[in-house]
Amino acid sequence: MTKPLRHKQILLVEDSVEIRRVLASTLERERYTVYQAEHGQAALKTLQQITPDLILSDINMPRMNGIEFFKELRKNPAWTPIPFIFLTANNSPQDIQAGRVLGVEDYITKPIDPKDLISIVNARLLRVADVQVAQIGLAYLETVNVLANTIEGRDPYTFGHVKRVAQYARRIAEAQQWPPEHLRMLEFGARLHDIGKIMVPDEVLKKTGPLTDVEWALMKQHPVTGAKILNQITHLRGTLPYVLYHHEKWDGTGYPRGLKGKEIPVEGRLLAVVDVYDALTTVRPYHPGRPQAEVVTFLQAKAGVHFDPDMVTVFTRVLPPDNK
Ligand SMILES: [Fe+2]
């Protein structure tokens, strides 16, 4: 039994008291909480009280049979996502056909082997859990992209910048075998690293000439501002090291904290290299895009000064040859 599935609620709809008793005790041994109903109408009543994680339903039952029950369920958007498994007699292909027309995916044929029951129920619930995780992940990514686009929308010259930065950053992290959960936060961190620029006035952000001291001071606040914004979003707190430290320099002359060498969190050291690389190879209002070879030479010259030398080494190794 897989741990996370314990204590999930199952609604068992079956008119035979004997079959219901056997199935319920099999499921309860696996620590599922089982609610029982003797037909579709009773099951609908139970659904007013609880929303089960899965429904197991017989087809041939008095008062409201399984097919009618399933149709009723699909009328209510709150019940539509509940996984549904029919319990059907082995010799009733017409039942299976009827269910298939309605979109029922799973069947368990009677007589029911307890092992089959458990493995089918577990598999179905695991699949649902996987889909939910994927959907949440997608929702996170959409949120991140909307936030990131607010910056790109204001500063058209950086269009595509965060996406490329995320791609380069991922190449380095994969080469360094970062664990998968870190890769996810890296993707978000790379996309959101300049979110604090949202508070930098347009005339500073879009200025093509050199910045005055005051303007420069405003610009340099963006890592801290960004961290303050993202600190309010629990699932994005892992991005803070990227946002806060991507302008720190290996020799301690960066900002906001002037950290040195490996005092700078690895997330900041990684992002610094790819951020500068992309800024220099891309056309900006104040400079044309420089050739890749020239920028790589620049990064190497600044290894151990601006950048973590190991990061530069790995980046130049994983950089695609023609990326412009
Ligand atoms: Fe930045």
- The CB density around residue 175, as the number of other CB atoms within 10 Å, is 12
Q: Does residue 299 share a domain with residue 178?
A: yes
Task: Check whether residue 262 and residue 224 sit in a common domain.
Answer: yes
What mean pLDDT comes out for the span 237-248?
A: 96
Q: What is the pLDDT of residues 96-155, one digit of tens each?
A: 777 777 777 688 888 888 888 898 898 888 888 888 878 888 888 888 888 888 777 776
Does residue 73 share a domain with residue 33? Answer: yes
- Residue 58, classed as helix, strand or coil, is strand
Q: How confident is the model at residue 158 (pLDDT cuts 50, 70, 90)?
A: low
284 found inside a domain: yes
With b for 16 or more beta-carbon neighbours within 10 A and e for fewer, the 65-81 pattern comes to bbbebbebbeeeeebee
> Considering 197, 206, 207, 249, which one is annotated as catalytic?
197
Q: Which residues of 136-156 are buried (b: 16+ CB within 10 A; e: fewer)?
A: eeeebeeebbebbeebbeebe
Question: Three-class SS of residue 19?
Answer: helix
Q: Is the pLDDT of residue 4 over 70?
A: no
Say whether pTM exceeds 0.75.
no
Centre of ligand 1 from the C-alpha of residue 232, in Å: 19
* Annotation marks residue 75 as catalytic: no
pLDDT-derived band at 181 (thresholds 50, 70, 90) equals: confident
| Structural domain boundaries enclosing 270 | 155-318
Q: In terms of domains, do 304 and 232 share one?
A: yes
Residue 119 belongs to a domain:
yes
- Residue 119 CA, distance from chain mean position: 27
Ligand 1 centroid vs 194 CA: distance in angstroms?
5
pLDDT band at 299 (very low <50, low <70, confident <90, very high): very high
| Domain identity same for 29 and 110 | yes
Are the beta carbons of 192 and 239 closer than 8 angstroms?
A: yes
Q: Convert 11-34 to b/e letters by CB count within 10 Å (16 or more is b).
A: bbbbbeeebbebbbebbeebebeb
The alpha carbon of 322 and the centre of ligand 1 are apart by a number of angstroms equal to: 25
Q: How far, in Å, CA of 104 to CA of 85, rounded?
A: 7
Classify residue 113: in a domain, yes or no. yes
* C-alpha 230 to ligand 1 mean position (Å): 15
Read off the CATH number of the domain in which 198 is found.
Answer: 1.10.3210.10
256 C-alpha to center of ligand 1: Å? 11
Residues 181 and 78 in one domain: no
Residue 288: inside a domain: yes
Number of domains in the chain: 2
Q: How sure is the predictor about 3, in pLDDT bands with cuts at 50, 70 and 90?
A: very low
- pLDDT, tens digit (0-9, with 9 covering 90-100), for 269-287: 999 999 999 999 987 766 7
Contact between 207 and 154 (Cβ < 8 Å):
no
Q: Give the residue from 114, 129, 144 where a domain finishes.
A: 129
Q: Which of 246, 237, 235, 233 is nearest to 197 (CA)?
A: 246
DSSP track, 215-230: HHHHHTTHHHHHHHHH
Whether 27 is covered by a domain: the verdict is yes
pLDDT at 24 > cutoff 60 = yes
